[in-house]
Amino acid sequence: MSTIDIQVTVEAGDWPAEEALYETATRVLGAANAYLSTELHQPFPAMSPELSLLFTNDAAMRTINAEWRDKDKPTNVLSFPAFPLVPGGMPGPMLGDIVLASETIANEAKDLQRSSGDHLAHLLVHGYLHLFGYDHIEVEDAEIMEHHEIRILATLGISDPYEGQSLLDTTKRQ
């Protein structure tokens, strides 16, 4: 199983210290890597691929979302793969970037009655799967992606984040 070289940057927002975020990311994405390797036989490069995590606020996320997706609003997480990848394909030395927005994540966690830590873990896994080519635009793809998210989170003792939601709701969110 491959490890990941994770770079953490806190740009803005109400986040824990970078060291705590790094520990969370290492634990959560380590579980995702283990699942991808053992359950999906995902290949990894010989050297640990790099991943950049940017923790920011809603204002910055709104700007990024408008620039890259033509959506003038903040969102919880955005993923930017370094190279296009289909599920099961070999990633390059740089996986890409994941950007997370503090206010949106905190508000969603409250609305969903989940701990902020569990919600952050879910969004890290969600963003990470995007870097490996998983998506949720089509219902069939969303079912696959959500199945993997649920199973990865279960290895961390985190309950199903989609429980009580319809698949149509989850595909419309992004």
Q: Which residues line the annotated binding site for Zn(2+)?
A: 126, 130, 136
Q: Indicate the annotated binding residues.
A: 126, 130, 136
> Residue 4's closest CA among 32, 40, 39?
32
φ and ψ at residue 134, rounded to 5 degrees = -80, 150
Six token digits for residue 32:
């995702």
One-letter amino acid identity for 130? H
Q: Which residue has the tokens 């959506």?
A: 71
Distance CA 54, CA 22 (A): 11
